[in-house]
């Protein structure tokens, strides 16, 4: 129970990696504030846990939040502090991509960077005072796209920005005892793949022979947010089934498949 008596904020907590992170932190004793626009979905999942005789429902609450709007983030975080009194962990999970043929288009580029890079900055800014008071931890969800050239340049650039953001904030926040890290997932089984033929077709590209599950990323987030990682800050941790370790193997698979 690494998070007993601690309060965690999880943005994008209604689905996928975010929801898996909520469950992991609840299971380890945290009180969890779920920030998401899909408040009904988050509430339904919490209710389902309660119907399974789960006792953590009273330790979680849902707050409406749009990470692309500073006012919405500030209002949500203020409500979290009013409700729980403190913030010990910020898991900035909200983000994603919208596939388009116009990858360098102004509207697409602006919206993707705003969502994936500016969104976490807004959350950090709003939570900074509370995290400083608790000597807390920040974990942002990046991507292997931000580490190597897997395509999707707007998304990749935004996720790469999180790596340098974490390094810089690790230095500036370090004296206050606040740690800042990034988890960089590979292909994860989330709803984004529902209209793309499913993620398992990419399993042969991974040295471990499978795609990731949301729980794989939630476990890494929990580790970096916990005292087990108390001397780790400013790092980007790939959780990617080995894809970054074997780029030539990945390329050979692509060539063999004629893609």
H-helix or E-strand spanning residue 36: strand 31-36
Q: Is 155 marked active-site? A: yes
Catalytic residue among 150, 159, 167, 206: 159
Distance, CA of 226 to CA of 88 (rounded, Å):
10
Six token digits for residue 19: 């929801």
Six token digits for residue 50: 């309660």
**H-assigned helices in the chain:** 16-27, 39-51, 70-84, 106-113, 119-134, 153-173, 214-225, 247-256
Distance, CA of 64 to CA of 76 (rounded, Å):
7
Please, are residues 25 and 46 in contact by the beta-carbon 8 Å criterion? no
Task: Encode burial over 212-241: b for 16+ CB neighbours within 10 A, e otherwise.
Answer: bebebbbbbbbbbbbeebeeebbbbbbbbb
Q: Is 167 marked active-site? A: no
Annotated active-site positions, please? 155, 159
């Amino acid at each position: 129970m690494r998070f007993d008596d601690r309060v965690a904020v999880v943005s994008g907590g209604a689905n996928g990696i975010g929801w898996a992170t909520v469950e992991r932190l609840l299971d380890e004793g945290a009180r969890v504030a779920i920030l998401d626009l899909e408040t009904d979905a988050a509430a339904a999942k919490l209710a389902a846990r309660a119907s399974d005789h789960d006792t953590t429902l009273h330790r979680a609450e849902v707050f409406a939040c749009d990470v692309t709007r500073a006012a919405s983030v500030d209002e949500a975080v203020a409500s979290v502090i009013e409700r729980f009194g403190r913030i010990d962990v910020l898991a900035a999970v909200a983000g994603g991509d919208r596939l388009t043929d116009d990858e360098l288009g102004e509207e697409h580029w602006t919206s993707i960077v705003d969502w994936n890079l500016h969104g976490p900055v807004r959350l950090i800014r709003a939570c900074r005072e509370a995290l400083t008071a608790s000597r807390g931890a920040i974990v942002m969800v990046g991507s292997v796209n931000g580490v190597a050239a897997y395509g999707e340049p707007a998304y990749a650039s935004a996720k790469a920005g999180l790596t340098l953001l974490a390094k810089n904030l690790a230095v500036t926040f370090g004296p206050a005892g606040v740690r800042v890290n990034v988890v960089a997932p590979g292909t994860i089984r989330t709803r984004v793949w529902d209209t793309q033929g499913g993620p398992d077709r990419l399993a042969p590209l991974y040295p471990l022979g499978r795609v990731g599950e949301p729980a794989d990323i939630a476990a890494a987030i929990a580790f970096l947010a916990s005292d087990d990682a108390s001397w780790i800050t400013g790092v980007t941790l790939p959780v990617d089934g080995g894809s970054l370790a074997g780029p030539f193997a990945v390329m050979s698979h692509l060539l063999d498949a004629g893609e």
